[in-house]
């Protein structure tokens, strides 16, 4: 005979078994009772051709938590390249955010539990997560809008191909929805988003504008993305900036709150690039990747864009001479820098005077560097330009300054003096200094005439300014820098790059509501100060053929201190 405890255990097993049968039967019944949404696009080559091209492009998979892609199949290649970058093995479910193009939803958001048919097979919805969404009854409603909206129809074939085992949570975002609605949905998503979730934002950007206006609107969006200023997304205009502010806001909130991830814009193009001619109105595309803990390394050139980098104070004299005294030490030093720079075209603030031979006596605050070592170093790290607009390049007088310019020009390194504008192809760059050691002025060197000359230059946009300003070891702007960057923005400068304070700023600042962007200080690049007082970051600027750019800060180690520790 069995004991009462054993009989209770067997009874529990039978109940669980029966419950399992009920669950399976219920799920099967639900599946059979949910008619699939027919494929909107039935020509397989519309997807297989760009998928094949993306595969052959050799795009390395990354641990992405989100991507932003177009839904115009004119740009199907951009969609495929973004999905190709996803490390797909860990993704179990996909949230798809897209605009309710035809205004079918009566609530701020709509969803469906129906599966989607595609040319590659069926994509199932994540039923428990859809139920969770529908539980927010005044926020999310069930709708059949998914049958015809290309915002989802153009994306599900790519999901089926790249993530065949994933289930989706489709969310249509009403065009009239507001920030309060978006914030409420983020709260609901707390019980849905996991580490195995990919958020796909299906969004096209500026709509039906002449190319020049479209480029301006895209740059405003790119600046907001670069700054991470999520609240500014709500102030953008539909469809002049994008077709779904809500989708962009939700993507950035989800990525920040759940994955601590920031947007990285890797492609910016327009419909003219896929059709003959450049006349008429255009629609634009911005592809974004979201990666948790991305490597501290500069990105590489991609089709349609080139990468430039800006670095802070750079000196190959004084204390650097001691740690770069042998060829082995030099090679080890520059190998560390090259590993981070990844071959980008580098522009630095050259702090001091390049001379054929160092003077026998130099006062402590007079900076000079030997030309042989300096030129070898600049070549080793792919420096293409230097700013000479700072408070140390005149330390040895005008004659030495002029000689330095000739030395650098002879090896094809562009030099920028105070107020000079140099054309780098994808952008124009001017250099300015607000400090002057000769007159002992710690601010106020940049005057109204300098600003007026910039405004009158009519330099082709985008125009950048590298500005030597600020107080030593203070990495935030003061009243003088805030005033200056505003004046520069009004003079058509869209990117202000600060140098001199030795301590790197931690973030990019939005200017003029998105019309421009600024970093107060890049700190030190190669300079004889340790991390006790100094820090440094590169500013990576991806310049698109579209006429726009995307900037991001990449903190780097203290190369001087690292070399000291290796001795």
Look at residue 201 and tell me whether its pLDDT is greater than 80.
Answer: yes
> Would you state the pLDDT for residue 293?
84
Which residue is associated with the tokens 């049968």? 21
Query: What CA–CA distance (Å, rounded) separates 127 from 93?
Result: 11
Give the per-residue pLDDT at 245: 98
Locate the domains of the chain by residue range. Answer: 64-291, 305-566
pLDDT category at 287 given cuts 50, 70, 90 is: very high
Omega before 239 within 30 of 0, i.e. cis: yes
> Rounded to whole angstroms, what are the CA distances from 162 to 86, 426, 430?
8, 34, 45
Confidence check: pLDDT of 450 > 60: yes
pLDDT of residue 441: 77
Q: Dihedrals φ, ψ of 479, to 5°?
A: -55, -40
Tell me which DSSP letter residue 40 carries.
S
Q: Mean pLDDT, the chain, as a whole number?
A: 92
pLDDT band per the 50, 70, 90 thresholds, residue 22: very low
How much is the pLDDT for 279? 65
Cβ-based neighbour number of residue 196 at 10 Å: 12
* Res 542: pLDDT: 98
Query: For residue 387, what are the β-bridge partners?
Result: 349, 416
From the list 219, 200, 199, 201, the residue with the least C-alpha distance to 209 is: 219
Q: What average pLDDT does range 545-551 have in this prediction?
A: 97
pLDDT, tens digit (0-9, with 9 covering 90-100), for 207-247: 999 999 999 999 999 999 999 999 999 999 999 999 999 99
Question: CA 527, CA 265: separation in Å to the nearest integer?
Answer: 31
Q: Are 540 and 552 in contact (CB under 8 A)?
A: yes
The pLDDT value recorded for residue 144 is 95
Cα–Cα distance, 28 to 116 (Å, whole number): 17
Q: Is the pTM above the cut of 0.85?
A: yes
Structure tokens at 45: 């080559």
Cβ pair 349, 499 in contact under 8 A = yes
The average pLDDT across 14-35 equals 48
User: What pLDDT does residue 294 have?
Assistant: 87
Signed CA dihedral, 490, 495, 499, 502: sign only: positive
For 305-566, CATH number out of 3.40.718.10, 3.60.21.10, 1.10.10.10, 3.30.56.10 equals: 3.60.21.10
Tell me the mean pLDDT in the region 316-328.
92
- Of 285, 78, 83, 114, nearest to 199 by C-alpha is 83
Q: What CA–CA distances, in Å, run from 178 to 69, 125, 133, 217, 249?
A: 22, 26, 18, 21, 10
CATH fold of 64-291, please? Protocatechuate 4,5-dioxygenase; Chain B (3.40.830)
- Note whether 229 and 96 are within 8 A (CB): no
Average pLDDT of the residues in 366-384: 96
Euclidean distance between CA atoms 319 and 342, whole angstroms: 26
Tokens in use for 329? 């030490």
Give the pLDDT band of residue 498 (cuts 50, 70, 90).
very high
Q: Which two tokens stand for residue 302?
A: 């991609």
The pLDDT assigned to 204 comes to 98
Is residue 24 predicted with pLDDT exceeding 70? Answer: no
Report, as an integer, the average pLDDT of 243-253. 98
Smallest Cα–Cα separation from 98: which of 161, 33, 143?
Answer: 143
Write the DSSP string, 336-398: HHHHHHTT-EEEEEE-SEEESS--S---TT--EEEHHHHHHHHHHTTEEEEE--SSSTTTT-H
Quick one: what percent of the chain has pLDDT higher than 70? 93
For residue 76, pLDDT over 80 is answered with yes
pLDDT tens digits, residue range 511-539? Answer: 999 999 999 999 999 999 999 999 999 99
Task: Select, from the ranges 226-240, 322-336, 356-370, the one with the highest average predicted confidence (pLDDT).
Answer: 226-240
Model pLDDT for residues 405-431, shown as the tens digit of each residue? 999 999 999 999 999 999 999 999 999
């Amino acid at each position: 005979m069995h004991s009462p405890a054993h009989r209770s255990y067997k009874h529990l097993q039978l109940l669980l078994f029966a419950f399992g049968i009920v669950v399976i039967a219920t799920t099967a019944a639900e599946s059979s009772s949910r008619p699939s949404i027919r494929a909107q696009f039935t020509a397989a080559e519309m997807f297989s051709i760009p998928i094949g091209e993306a595969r052959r492009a050799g795009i390395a998979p990354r641990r992405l938590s989100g991507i932003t892609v177009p839904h115009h199949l004119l740009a199907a290649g951009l969609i495929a390249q973004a999905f190709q970058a996803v490390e797909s093995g860990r993704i179990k479910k996909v949230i798809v955010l897209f605009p309710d193009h035809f205004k079918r939803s009566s609530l701020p958001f709509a969803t469906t539990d129906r599966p989607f048919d595609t040319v590659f097979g069926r994509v199932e919805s994540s039923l428990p997560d859809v139920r969770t969404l529908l539980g927010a009854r005044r926020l999310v409603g069930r709708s059949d809008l998914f049958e015809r909206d290309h915002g989802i129809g153009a994306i599900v074939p790519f999901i089926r191909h790249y993530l065949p085992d994933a289930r989706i949570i489709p969310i249509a975002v009403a065009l009239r929805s507001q920030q309060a609605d978006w914030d409420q949905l983020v709260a609901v998503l707390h019980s849905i988003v996991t580490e195995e979730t990919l958020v796909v934002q299906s969004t096209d950007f500026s709509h039906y504008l002449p190319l020049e206006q479209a480029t301006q609107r895209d740059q405003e969006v790119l600046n907001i993305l670069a700054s991470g200023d999520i609240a500014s997304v709500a102030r953008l205009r539909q469809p002049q900036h994008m077709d779904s502010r809500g989708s962009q806001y939700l993507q950035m909130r989800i990525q920040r709150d759940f994955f601590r991830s920031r947007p990285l814009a890797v492609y910016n193009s327009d419909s003219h690039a896929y059709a003959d001619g450049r006349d008429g109105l255009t629609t634009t595309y911005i592809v974004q990747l979201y990666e948790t803990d991305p490597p501290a390394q500069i990105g590489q050139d991609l089709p349609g864009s080139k990468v430039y980098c800006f670095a802070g104070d750079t000196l190959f004299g004084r204390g650097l001479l001691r740690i770069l005294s042998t060829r082995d030490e030099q090679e080890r030093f520059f190998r560390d820098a090259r590993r981070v720079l990844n071959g980008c075209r580098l522009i630095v603030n050259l702090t001091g005077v390049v001379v054929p031979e160092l003077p026998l006596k130099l006062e402590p605050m007079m900076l000079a560097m030997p030309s042989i070592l300096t030129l070898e170093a600049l070549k080793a790290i792919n420096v293409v330009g230097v700013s000479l607009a700072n408070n140390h390049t005149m330390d040895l007088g005008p004659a030495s300054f002029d000689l330095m310019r000739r030395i650098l020009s002879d090896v094809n390194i562009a030099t920028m003096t105070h107020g000079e504008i140099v054309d780098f192809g994808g952008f124009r760059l001017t250099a300015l200094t607000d400090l002057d050691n000769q007159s002992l002025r710690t601010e106020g060197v940049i005057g109204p005439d300098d600003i007026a000359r910039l405004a009158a230059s009519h330099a082709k946009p985008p125009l950048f300014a590298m500005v030597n300003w600020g107080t030593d070891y203070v990495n935030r702007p003061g009243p003088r820098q805030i005033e200056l960057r505003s004046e520069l923005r009004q003079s058509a400068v869209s990117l202000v790059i600060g140098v001199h304070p030795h301590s790197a700023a931690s973030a990019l600042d939005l200017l003029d509501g998105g019309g421009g962007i600024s970093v107060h200080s890049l700190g030190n690049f190669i300079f004889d100060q340790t991390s006790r007082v100094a820090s440094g970051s590169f500013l990576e600027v991806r310049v698109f053929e579209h006429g726009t750019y995307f900037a991001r800060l990449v903190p780097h180690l203290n190369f001087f201190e690292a070399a000291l520790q290796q001795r």
